[in-house]
Chain A
Amino acid sequence: MQEFYKVLEISEGASNEEVELAYKTLKEKYSKERFMEGEVGNNAAKMLTKVETAYFEICESRKRNIDDGGQTVENFYEVEKSIKEGNFAKAQSLLDEFSTRSAEWHYLQSVVFYKKNWMSESKKQLEIAVNMEPFNTKYSKAYSLLKEKIEYNDRQFRAGNMGGAYGPNEQYQERQMGGSDSNNCMTFCATWCCMDMLCTMCCR
Chain B
Amino acid sequence: MFGYVKTDLPNLYVKDTILYKSMYCGLCKGIGCACGNKGRLLLNYDLTFLSVFLHNVMGLDVKIEKQRCIIHHVRKRPVAIPDDLTKRIGALNVILARYKFNDDVLDSGKGRLARAFFNSSYKRAKKSEPELDLIVKERYSELVKYEKTGGDSVDIASDPFGNMMVDVVNVLMGELVSEPIKEIAYNLGKWIYLIDALDDFDKDKKKNNFNVFINKYQSVKDKEQLIKEKQQELIYVFGSTLSTIAENAKKIEYKFNHDLTDNVLMRGLSMQTKMVMENEKCKNSTKF
Contacts and interface: CB of A to CB of B under 8 A. Distances in A.
Contacts of A152: 243
Nearest to A149: B243
Contacts of A172: 11
Nearest to B155: A118
A23 B274 CA distance: 50
B236 A119 contact: yes
B270 interface: yes
Contacts, number: 100
Contacts of B288: 186
Interface of A: 113, 116-121, 123, 149-150, 152-154, 156-157, 160-166, 172, 176, 182-183, 186-187
Interface of B (DSSP majority class) = helix
A186 B287 contact: yes
A186 B9 contact: yes
A120 B155 contact: yes
Given A120-B237, A150-B240, A152-B243, A164 B262 contact: yes
Nearest to A180: B10
The size bracket of the interface on B is 35 or more
Interface of B: 8-11, 153-156, 159, 162, 183, 186-187, 190, 232, 235-237, 239-244, 246, 249, 258-259, 262-263, 265-267, 269-271, 273-274, 287-288
- A interface SS class: helix
B212 to A, nearest CB: 10
Given A119-B240, A149-B243, A162 B270 contact: yes
A157 B239 contact: yes
Given A119-B241, A150-B236, A165 B259 contact: yes
Contacts of B159: 118
A100 to B, nearest CB: 23
